[in-house]
Amino acid sequence: MYSEGVWLIYTSALTIFTLSYFLIKTKRLDLDRARLHVDRDPFEGRFVPKICYHCSIPYCLNACPVDAIRISEKDGTVLIDNERCNGCAECREACPYGMIIYDQEQKKAFKCDFCGGNPQCVKICPMNALGIALFESKESK
């Protein structure tokens, strides 16, 4: 019973965190469109943030028929240009992690854009569980 109570409190805190982040980023409270989700691993019981991994070879980029997805030369983040996006959602289908969100209202795809290098999720995480880890690519050696 104790672990269930902790689970409920912790889940509530994570939901509030996710909603807070989404409100800061999009000015709306809509969990279905959140760019960050926190799930509980059913086998290990730990909480795992689900966010775009900004892959070095992104499946979403290769799937986009209108070249609306690019890798930032500045920091390696994978970005979607909403002006170019035609709303086909091919990128969403291609992402093996399910981190591309399709906005039904705008008919556009979107995802974590790393907040321009200053991720708000890291700033407001109530547990200080999120951080930034930069890795040197093999190509840059």
User: Which domains are delineated in the chain?
Assistant: 1-51+118-130 (no CATH), 53-111 (3.30.70.20)
What is the β-pairing status of strands 108-110 and 37-40? unpaired
* Cβ–Cβ under 8 Å, residues 84 and 59: no
pTM exceeds 0.75: no
User: Where do the H-state alpha helices sit in 27-74?
Assistant: 59-63
Instruction: Give the residue among 49, 28, 45, 47 at the shortest CA–CA distance from 37.
Output: 49
Residue pLDDT, tens place only, 14-27: 555 565 555 666 66
Instruction: Give the residue among 54, 83, 51, 78 at the shortest CA–CA distance from 66.
Output: 83
Most confident by average pLDDT, 11-20, 84-93, 128-137: 84-93
pLDDT attached to residue 50: 78
